[in-house]
Amino acid sequence: MRRTVIAGNWKMNMTPSQTKAFITELAPMVAGKDKCDIVLCVPFVDIATAVEAAKGSNIHIGAENVHFAESGAYTGEISAKMLCEIGAEYVIVGHSERRTYFGETDETVNLRTKAALAAGLKVILCLGEVKEQRLAGITDEIVSMQTKLDLAGVSAEELKNVIIAYEPVWAIGTGLTATPEQADETCGVIRKTIAALYGEAAAEQITIQYGGSMNDGNAKELLAKTHVDGGLIGGASLKTDKFTAIVNAAN
């Protein structure tokens, strides 16, 4: 049985003091909800506070990006080793906002993924088509290609620490959501690609999330789909009640 994972992506929101208040409020609200793993991916400067505030709870903490080098002259970047030492367990790689605004490519996403896995982090690998690609009918080709490029050189053993987040770019932060059928179909295409690369057993095991305006109103229907094993949640992860409602939908 694959795990359902409900992960928040705070993006560039929340200060350390807000982080402490948020997690202190959230922890009792999601206590005992053990049918899914609960993760909050937070800005770098919030990680230490988040780890401390989440101690003793079922909330896991992650970062929102990682650099691919172990160390060196990369001003402003953060290495996987730094994230591990500060207590992060997860890291988002390849989010569409990184690809769109910060020039990340499948090549750098692949390098970041491999560096994070080598350091022992769990990777939430984001991929998905833009609106023009969906309208052109090439969504399947795009997500399949991204899956292959982003995971190039990742071993079957390392894949056990990878979660894929299917995030149609047109649905992120827009209030537009893929229909449950679209989400299921495209997550299914990604699973088929994993089967071709790593075999059926690995494809059955891997958690594939949907992300893109998932909220307390649509989570239940999306999560009910066979190939949708959780959610990566932006906006709705910034409110304890909304995030808890999504966790409840997964339970």
Cβ atoms of 172 and 130 within 8 Å: the answer is no
Residue closer to ligand PEP by CB (options 41, 154) is: 41
Residue 213 as a binder of ligand PEP (CB under 6 A): the answer is: yes
For ligand PEP, which is the closer residue by CB, 230 or 234? 234
Tokens of 132: 């023009």
Distance from the first to the final alpha carbon of the chain: 15
Residue 225: alpha-carbon gap to chain centroid = 18
Contact pick of 4, 5, 6, 9 for ligand PEP (by CB under 6 A)? 9
Of residues 143-182, which lie at the interface with ligand PEP (CB under 6 A)?
167, 172-173
The answer to whether residue 188 forms part of the interface with ligand PEP (CB under 6 A) is: no
Q: Which of 64, 95, 97, 104 is catalytic?
A: 95
| Residue among 1 and 12 whose Cβ is closer to ligand PEP | 12
Give whichever of 55 and 131 is closer to ligand PEP, judged by the CB atom. Answer: 131
How far is residue 237's CA from residue 9's CA, in Å, rounded to a whole number?
Answer: 7
> What whole-number distance in Å separates Cα of residue 86 and Cα of residue 214?
29
Whether the CB-CB separation of 7 and 208 falls below 8 Å is answered with no
* 95 assigned to active site: yes
Q: Binding residue for ligand PEP (CB under 6 A) from 178, 232, 247, 250?
A: 232
**Residue 234 lies near ligand PEP (rule: CB under 6 A):** yes
Tell me which residue of 91, 85, 22 sits closest to 57, measured CA to CA: 22
Q: What is the nearest approach in angstroms of ligand PEP to the Cβ of residue 150?
A: 16
SS3 category, 246: helix
Helix (H) or strand (E) holding 124: strand 122-127
Among residue numbers 68 through 127, which ones bind ligand PEP (CB under 6 A)? none
Give the residue from 240, 236, 243, 248 showing the smallest Cα distance to 26: 240
The two structure tokens encoding residue 245: 């409602």
233 sits near ligand PEP (criterion: CB under 6 A): yes
Closest CB to ligand PEP among 128 and 188? 128
CA–CA distance, 127 with 92 (Å, rounded to integer): 11
Nearest approach in angstroms of CB 39 to ligand PEP is 12
With beta carbons less than 8 A apart as the criterion, state whether 93 and 66 touch. Answer: yes
Which window, 71-79, 135-143, 191-199, 211-219, contacts ligand PEP (CB under 6 A)? Answer: 211-219
Active site residue 167: yes
Report, as residue numbers or ranges, the catalytic residues.
Answer: 95, 167
Binding residues vs ligand PEP (CB under 6 A): 9, 11, 167, 172-173, 211-214, 232-236
